[in-house]
Amino acid sequence: MLIHRSLARRAPILVVLAALGALPAQAQAPAMLSLEEAVVLAEQYNPGFQAQKNDEEVADWNLRSSQGALLPLASITSGLEYQGSGELRFGSLRTDDFGFGRLPSYYLSYYNVGLSLDLTGAKLFAPSQARLERDAARAQITNAAAALAYAVTQRYLDVTRAQASERLSVQELERTRQNLRLAQARQAVGATTALEARQAEVVMGRAEVALLQAQNAVKTAHLRLVQQLGIEYREDMRLTTEFRVFEPKWNEAQLYGQALDLNPSLAALRASTRAADYGVRMARSAYLPTFSLRAGLSGFARQAGSSDYLLGQAQTQSLGRIQQCQAWNEIFQRLADPLPMQDCTQFQFTDSDRRAILDENAQFPFGFTRQPGTLSLTVSLPVFQGFSRQRDVEAARAVEDDARHRERELELQLRADIAAGLAAVETAYQSAQIEERNQLVADEQLRLAQERYRLGAASFLELVEAETLKAGADRSQLDAVFSFHDALAGLEAVVGGRLPQAPAGDER
């Protein structure tokens, strides 16, 4: 009866989509709906379950992020700067003291390309840890899917129970109408008083009230079902899955073994335990060394806002060299053995020098001058960190122990729940068998009471009592049938899968 994620992903999905067409964001309820199709719709449109499914995407990105942390980080930095004209001061000295005078404005641009990689033990173990955490997230989603399937089954049973109760109310109302016609016929021939006819009218009125309440219960159950599915309400929706009572022939030990393999809560807890176990390795990785690798390239461009300052400096330098050359020539002439004279015209400021200065100054913003590249490798080994690493290791071990204890606790709970659930199913089956026999006896008793009242051998009070017993037997038999399926759904939820020993032809 309980439909799980593995079953919901198969053919029922195609059946639902074929029945509904391309489903919109808010699906309309179909005209006919089986339990399997209801579970599929709930997995597609239930808001709470959709929110739970988002955890898998977050876990996937956590895994990608941990894998990306093993790759180098790349960065590109670039910028522009402007420096206004004026004098610069170096402590108590100014640029005038160095003969530079008032400096012009400057435009600057630069770039820096860098690669960096830090490898620690935590980063090396992080992908495996993230993968286990993703498995745990998926197991939690599977557990949520199983819980959703159980909730949908309960809602589906509520609707079916309410519809069956409505049919009983219709039958009870029809019987009270027959009793009223019988009482009126007896009154017409003088076989009874008008009081019995009035009593029959009161009984029929109560049956009409019970039918109204049953019809309202059906609508309320329908609303709760579509709310659980996350789809829009449709008044004429008909449920097609039938629920029959059959004799349970399961073995408690076999059910427990099946639960150890299939129970979604236990599977989710085991996945969390594996993640906690790997967390101990993650904590121990703090004792491993750290490797840091750095590489970079950079460049800059600098351009004066006015070329006149650079040209003036160059001309001044040229004039100074010429004067120095002439002074050396005069010294060389006065020597006892004169030296060859230097050609001072080579230091003259020419048009080609002017063009070279102007071309060299035209660098902003992309005429970068490349700087030497850098490459560095650093190894760091932590020696003592105040027992913080050992504290983290012990804390991780405690988390792992807690997870294993919770796993063992759930296994013990499953054993008890299976024993109690199987006993509940067997008791419900036996109760349904007894109530079915009681229903047959009540049918016969009502038939005899009606016949006796028609012949005048019984009072109307006896007929009402027989009708009450018949209604009570019908209600008890209905309650026994759905108590059986409630217990069966609970047992299948504990086991973690549909119990396959149902009779052939049962659509549960």
Assign 99 a pLDDT band (cuts: 50, 70, 90): low
| Tokens linked to 449 | 């009471």
Nearest C-alpha neighbor of 47 from the set 22, 26, 23, 21:
26
Q: Which of 77-86, 204-213, 260-269, 294-303 has the lowest mean pLDDT?
A: 77-86
Assign 11 a pLDDT band (cuts: 50, 70, 90): very low
Query: How far apart (Å, rounded) are the C-alpha atoms in residues 68 and 487?
Result: 50
Do 231 and 366 share a domain, yes or no? no
Mean pLDDT for 365-388 is: 88
Query: How far apart (Å, rounded) are the C-alpha atoms in residues 74 and 295?
Result: 10
Do 347 and 438 share a domain, yes or no? no
Assign 16 a pLDDT band (cuts: 50, 70, 90): very low
Secondary structure element (H or E) that encloses residue 138, with its range? helix 121-188
Mean pLDDT for 25-46 is: 88
Of residues 307 and 378, the one with the higher pLDDT is 378
* Within a domain: 142: no
Segments forming the whole domain that contains residue 399: 251-288+387-508
**CA distances in angstroms from 398 to 160, 188, 269, listed in the order given:** 48, 87, 16
Do 197 and 268 share a domain, yes or no? no
Region for residue 386 given its phi and psi (left: phi exceeds 0; alpha: psi -120 to 50; beta: otherwise): left
Residue 158 is predicted with a pLDDT of 96
Residue 316 is predicted with a pLDDT of 82
List, in sequence order, the alpha helices (H) in 230-349: 252-262, 264-284, 307-333
Do 350 and 394 share a domain, yes or no? no
Largest CA distance in the chain: 175
Classify strands 238-239 and 32-33 as parallel, antiparallel or unpaired. Answer: parallel
Domain edge (last residue) among 380, 414, 441 = 380
Residue type, 306: S
What would the pLDDT profile of 169-222 be if each residue is shown by its tens digit? 999 999 889 888 888 887 887 777 788 888 888 989 999 999 999 999 999 999
| Tokens linked to 381 | 């080994």
Residue 89 is predicted with a pLDDT of 61
Given a contact cutoff of 8 angstroms between Cβ atoms, the answer to whether 39 and 144 are in contact is: no
Do 169 and 37 share a domain, yes or no? yes
Residue 501 is predicted with a pLDDT of 56
* DSSP labels, 39-65: HHHHHHH-HHHHHHHHHHHHHHHHHHH
* 26: helix, strand or coil: coil
* Within a domain: 466: yes
Query: What value, to the nearest 5°, has the Cα angle with vertex 402 and ends 399 and 408?
Result: 145
Other beta carbons within 10 angstroms of residue 240's beta carbon come to: 12
* Within a domain: 226: yes
Assign 314 a pLDDT band (cuts: 50, 70, 90): confident
* Within a domain: 134: no
- Residue 6: pLDDT over 80: no
Residue 7 is predicted with a pLDDT of 39
Residue 483's domain is classified under what CATH number?
A: 1.20.1600.10
Residue 44 is predicted with a pLDDT of 93
Do 358 and 408 share a domain, yes or no? no
pTM of the model: 0.76
Query: How far apart (Å, rounded) are the C-alpha atoms in residues 209 and 187?
Result: 26
What would the pLDDT profile of 39-90 be if each residue is shown by its tens digit? 999 999 999 999 999 999 999 999 999 999 999 999 999 999 988 876 666 5
* Within a domain: 133: no
User: What percent of the chain has a predicted confidence (pLDDT) above 70?
Assistant: 90
Classify strands 106-119 and 290-304 as parallel, antiparallel or unpaired. Answer: antiparallel
| Tokens linked to 22 | 């391309």
207 class by beta-carbon count within 10 Å (0-12 exposed, 13-18 middle, 19+ buried): buried
- Residue 23: pLDDT over 80: no
Q: Is the dihedral of CA 206, 212, 218, 220 positive or negative?
A: negative
Query: How far apart (Å, rounded) are the C-alpha atoms in residues 300 and 229?
Result: 64
User: What percent of the chain has a predicted confidence (pLDDT) above 90?
Assistant: 56
Query: How far apart (Å, rounded) are the C-alpha atoms in residues 114 and 109?
Result: 17
Do 41 and 157 share a domain, yes or no? yes
Domain edge (last residue) among 380, 410, 426 = 380
- Residue 35: pLDDT over 50: yes
Do 395 and 499 share a domain, yes or no? yes
Residue 208 is predicted with a pLDDT of 94
Domain edge (last residue) among 328, 350, 380 = 380
Other beta carbons within 10 angstroms of residue 74's beta carbon come to: 11
* Within a domain: 501: yes
What would the pLDDT profile of 131-160 be if each residue is shown by its tens digit? 999 999 999 999 999 999 999 999 999 999
Query: How far apart (Å, rounded) are the C-alpha atoms in residues 140 and 135?
Result: 9
Assign 94 a pLDDT band (cuts: 50, 70, 90): low
- Residue 162: pLDDT over 90: yes
Residue 396 is predicted with a pLDDT of 93
What would the pLDDT profile of 448-496 be if each residue is shown by its tens digit? 988 888 888 888 888 888 888 999 999 999 999 999 999 999 999 999 9
Residue 250 is predicted with a pLDDT of 93
The long-range contacts involving 192-196, CB below 8 angstroms and separated by at least 24 positions, are: 192/460, 196/459, 196/460
Do 373 and 405 share a domain, yes or no? no
Do 278 and 202 share a domain, yes or no? no
Assign 441 a pLDDT band (cuts: 50, 70, 90): very high
Average pLDDT, rounded, for the chain: 86
Residue 411 is predicted with a pLDDT of 95
Do 358 and 480 share a domain, yes or no? no
The residue length of the chain stands at 508
Assign 351 a pLDDT band (cuts: 50, 70, 90): confident
- Residue 1: pLDDT over 70: no
* Within a domain: 136: no
* Within a domain: 428: yes
Do 62 and 76 share a domain, yes or no? no
Residue 26 is predicted with a pLDDT of 60
Query: How far apart (Å, rounded) are the C-alpha atoms in residues 179 and 477?
Result: 23
Mean pLDDT for 240-257 is: 92
Region for residue 190 given its phi and psi (left: phi exceeds 0; alpha: psi -120 to 50; beta: otherwise): left
Query: What value, to the nearest 5°, has the Cα angle with vertex 113 and ends 111 and 116?
Result: 145
Q: Which of 31-45, 198-212, 302-316 has the lowest mean pLDDT?
A: 302-316
Domain count, the chain: 3
Given a contact cutoff of 8 angstroms between Cβ atoms, the answer to whether 49 and 5 are in contact is: no
Residue 12 is predicted with a pLDDT of 44
